[in-house]
């Protein structure tokens, strides 16, 4: 597919400097892009490549100055990174729209309802009373259990498994290998040392505009629902336990685990490899640094935590500074002990 600079500028609402008829057929990083490719510059760290790149069209911030003329056609926007993301989304939507129909072999229950412009890939399984909205793309080897409901404009990548009774909203993307609605980790200890399984009879509810990375596990609730609220973004390899609630527009990086019945507020940001215990609440706007362990509720909004167990970020930095100075402090304490002994000895002689 080819696009002109004029078409691109219309999509991202930018202003053109140069030839509006310049065409591109693919994307490239500014340090590697070749003729016929589109690149963008948002990070000043890469500014030097602006004058060596072979890209035909470059998206730049409005305030980006030029030290010398460029051969490429420029499209200026308020935020180059955001504009590039918008363009990629439009490109992905265009490609996805070309996928329609039902590939074989696949299984679709007679009671299932498929919306307009659907795509069902080979070896997919769609169970009884499943409801799909418009423009839903089901890639190969996806499993949808009985009574699953999915809204409009959703994409399920290869190997996604969604267990029975789970409900998804609109404009949701779930990447390969993720499991939605598996049993929560519920086992009751018995007097003889064994464990009795507690049936998990709830479901998972995912609201609009959520994106979930590959190989994640979102467990169904014991009773009620595990809920991922609108606009949340989850990285790869994340475990969300039963009855967890994740607030709107929260983001969670890879290898994080959230234990059962914990409630994350809105706009929470969690770094990679964070562990959060169960049955606590995390206030709105909280930021948790990578590899932190959160063991109690966070009640103050916009808190910044780090460490394991996690503490206030500023206090932790002060503690780390003191810790680094411990050898010098130990030396000074030893010197003071010697001085005190000398003073006591002189006092006894007097």
Residues designated as active site: 242
Inter-residue contact 259 to 278 (CB < 8 Å): yes
Interacting residues of 200 by C-beta distance below 8 A, sequence separation 6+: 183, 184, 186, 219, 220, 221, 222, 242
DSSP state of 31: T
CA angle 91, 92, 93 (to 5 degrees): 90
Distances in whole angstroms, Cα of residue 15 to Cα of each of 34, 60, 97: 22, 10, 28
Question: Could you tell me whether strands 101-102 and 119-120 are parallel, antiparallel, or unpaired per DSSP bridges?
Answer: parallel
SS3 214: coil
DSSP state of 298: B
Measured between alpha carbons, how far is 104 from 140 in angstroms, rounded to an integer? 10
Inter-residue contact 218 to 197 (CB < 8 Å): no
Burial 115-129 (b: 16+ CB within 10 A, else e): bebbbbbebbbbbee
DSSP state of 124: -
């Amino acid at each position: 597919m080819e696009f002109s600079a004029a078409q691109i500028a219309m999509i991202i609402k930018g202003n053109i400097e140069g030839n509006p008829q310049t065409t591109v057929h693919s994307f490239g990083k500014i340090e590697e892009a070749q003729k016929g490719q589109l690149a963008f510059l948002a990070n000043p760290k890469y500014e030097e490549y602006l004058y060596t790149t072979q890209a035909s069209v470059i998206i730049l911030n409005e305030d980006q100055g030029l030290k010398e003329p460029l051969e490429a056609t420029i499209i200026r926007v308020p935020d180059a990174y955001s504009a590039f993301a918008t363009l990629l989304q439009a490109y992905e939507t265009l490609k996805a729209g070309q996928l329609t129909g039902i590939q074989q072999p696949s299984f679709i229950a007679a009671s299932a309802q498929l919306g307009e412009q659907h795509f069902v890939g080979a070896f997919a399984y769609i169970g009884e009373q499943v409801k799909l909205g418009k423009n839903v793309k089901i890639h190969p080897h996806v499993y949808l259990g009985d009574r699953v409901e999915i809204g409009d404009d959703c994409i399920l990548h290869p190997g996604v498994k969604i267990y029975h009774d789970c409900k998804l909203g609109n404009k949701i993307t779930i990447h390969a290998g993720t499991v939605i609605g598996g049993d929560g980790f519920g086992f009751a200890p018995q007097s003889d040392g064994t464990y009795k399984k507690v049936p998990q009879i709830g479901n998972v509810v995912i609201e609009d505009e959520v994106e979930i990375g590959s190989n994640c596990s979102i467990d169904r609730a014991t009773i009620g629902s595990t809920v991922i609220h609108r606009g949340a973004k989850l990285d790869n390899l994340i475990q969300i336990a039963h009855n967890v609630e994740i607030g709107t527009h929260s983001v969670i990086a890879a290898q994080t685990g959230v234990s059962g019945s914990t409630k994350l507020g809105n706009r929470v940001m969690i770094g990679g490899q964070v562990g959060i215990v169960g049955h606590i609440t995390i206030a709105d706007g909280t930021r948790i640094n990578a590899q932190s362990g959160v063991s109690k509720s966070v009640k103050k909004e916009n808190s910044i935590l780090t460490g394991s167990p996690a503490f206030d970020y500023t206090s932790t930095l002060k503690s780390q500074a003191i810790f680094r100075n411990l050898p010098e402090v130990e030396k000074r304490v030893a010197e003071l002990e010697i001085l005190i002994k000398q003073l006591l000895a002189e006092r006894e002689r007097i």
